[in-house]
Amino acid sequence: MTMLRFAQTCEAIAATTKKLEKTAIVADYLRSLSPSEAAEAAIFLSGRPFAAYRETTLQVGGSLLWKTIAELSGKPEQGLTASYRRHGDSGSVAAEVLPEKPQSLLSLVSVQQSFEQIASARGPAAKGHLLRELLHQATPLEAKYIVKIISGDLRIGLKESLVEEAIAKAFDAQLDDVKRANMLLGDIGETLVLALAGRLAEAKIRLFNAIDFMLASPVESAQEALSYFENAAVEDKYDGIRAQAHISKGEAHLYSRTRDEITESFPELPPALAGLPDGTILDGEIVAWSPHGAGIPTREEPTVERNPGGPDAAPVTNSGSATPRALPFSTLQQRLGRKKVSEKMMREIPVAYLVFDILCADGDLLLDLPLRERAQILDKLLAAPRAQPAIQAHAQSQFAFQGEERSCAPVLRAPVSAAHSPDDIEALFTAARARGNEGLMIKDPESRYTPGRRGKSWLKLKRELATLDVVVTAVEYGHGKRIGVLSDYTFAVWNGDRLENIGKAYSGLTDAEIAEMTEWFLEHVVRDEGLRLQVEPKIVLEVAFNNMMESTRHESGYSLRFPRIVRLRPDKLPEDADTIETVRKIYERQHTG
């Protein structure tokens, strides 16, 4: 029964584009339920089968869903495909093709229990059986939303932030308190229960649940950077993978920008981190590491005052070919995307974790302290001897430990310099580039750590004219040696909550990447236009280009000259892609010299 009301509420939410109306509908609905049902509904409304912090996944792919819907509908596949092309999502197909039921029997709790069973079942056959049972009991409208939750996207224009707003409204709580509790707990259901009891302040950080990452805004020059704050803490911008490390009771886990666990990809890091105190959360970049500075050309570097271990630490000199260095992303890329990382791979492409922030120490959250103070805590923590001999004075050159089988990688404090003038920044930029890094991160020492926000407290200064992070909206088959594979990508940037195309690129990816992408795109077609396939807007690319022009060719009103794909950005979600405002800014800069 309660599942039917959930589905009807979703229909009502989808029927309005006004955010205020959406939150009002959700707030009324949540208030009308018992606390445990409301908690479950809040999780489902944020488009998930389980609370965010849980590592449980259903492991039900598109094809298993498709097969089950087809079977239950008793219709030929062709009819289903036509319906999919009309709607572009399997949930709506289910609603259209599944048989009517005389009455609704499902409750939110029973759907939740089925999800738990599906998640713990092993293999597609067992999962398929449970899924069939669940969908068999559902009315077409209930099935629509069950399928949407399983696919991880309700598509009713309701982000988790709107569910947070609705909880604040429903239970008379401060929105900031709701957001904070949800961030700490990673559970919008538990957050709702606390809001309802007026106990949001009691929410405690839950380790092994990634906090959203603080993001940086691009700047074009040293002058622009210092227009936001006068004194800057400056670090190299390393070209690797952002990672948050959680340490508790001798265990360490790593999370990516999309808050997915990536510990298994870097088996040499947990042993190096596990000796840190209980209740530590670090933010940093995992890079391919050259312990002796080899792998990239060494150039003359200007001398710049650097204080890697805080003001009292000995200065690090960066000249000399034996200086350890971070290597470009292309090196790290060679060991990504593998299920198992061999000892050989760890030896051939060593990594290091360059830590630039600390979010939690001894279980205390530090987000509200200024960066200046967080930096001091971090300096002390990484300078202190560890419980395990994880890092020694020059761990860079150390790889395996005496008598220990496991490899262990360096965990290092990313060096910080103080800059007070554009000249300071220019000198640091040249030095960073000479070390082979991408550019600089320029940070306001007075700033708090603001999860998930792209503000002006962290700025990134890069060398390229500009690159854009874009979302692929359509793909085409290639020519020549690319016949039979989807190698031409049309891509878009955000204009408000709409994606508007801005260009099309052909080159830049490896054959293996194109083959993998072809497979993915074929499984995520929204509309088949013959030679061109519109696809689900999920894949983020970083594109470089020589020039930007105003143009009526694409709906964004701009087009790119010689666009090329720099790399796939699986670490970014579609909503992290660039906006039309950034495009305009780049265009204007180009045309005002």
Residues binding ligand AMP (CB under 6 A): 216, 235, 237-238, 242, 285, 356, 414, 441, 460
Q: Would you say 238 or 521 has its CB closer to ligand AMP? A: 238
The 8-class DSSP code of residue 481 comes to G
Name the residue with the smallest CB distance to ligand AMP: 242
As measured in angstroms, the least distance from the Cβ of 352 to ligand AMP is: 12
CB 388 within 8 A of CB 447: no
Select from 3, 45, 67, 56 the least CA-distant residue to 149: 45
In this structure, the number of other CB atoms found within 10 A of the CB of residue 403 comes to: 5
The least distance separating ligand AMP from the CB of residue 469, rounded to whole angstroms, comes to 7
CB of 212 to ligand AMP, least distance (A): 12
Q: 221 φ, ψ to 5°? A: -155, 165
Tokens for 170?
């429903």
β-strands 417-419, 232-237 pairing: antiparallel
Comparison of 167 and 216: residue with beta carbon closer to ligand AMP: 216
Tokens of residue 467, six digits: 């690159």
Q: How far is the CB of 414 from ligand AMP (least distance, A)?
A: 5
> In a 3-state reduction of DSSP, which class is residue 561?
strand
Residue 246, token pair as written in the block: 């959680």
Is 204 considered catalytic here? no
Q: Provide the 3-class DSSP secondary structure of residue 2.
A: helix
- Least CB distance from residue 106 to ligand AMP, whole Å? 41
- DSSP assignments along 288-329, one per residue: EEETTSTTS-----------TT-TTSPPPP--STTS-EEE-H
The candidate with the shortest Cα–Cα distance to 302, out of 439, 424, 442, is: 424
Which lies closer to ligand AMP via its Cβ, residue 60 or residue 378? 378
Phi, psi of 234 (to 5 degrees): -120, 130
Choose the catalytic residue: 22, 127, 237, 443: 237
- H-helix or E-strand spanning residue 215: strand 215-219
- Of 428 and 441, nearer to ligand AMP (C-beta) is 441
List the one residue out of 503, 509, 450 whose CA is nearest residue 485: 509
Nearer to ligand AMP, 29 or 545 (CB): 545
Measured CA to CA, the distance from residue 39 to residue 193 in angstroms comes to 7
CB of 541 to ligand AMP, least distance (A): 13
Closest CB 137 distance from ligand AMP, rounded Å: 44
For residue 11, report the phi and psi dihedrals to the nearest 5 degrees: -60, -40
C-alpha to C-alpha distances, 296 to 144, 430, 434, 507, 592, nearest whole angstrom: 53, 16, 10, 25, 36
Active site residues: 237
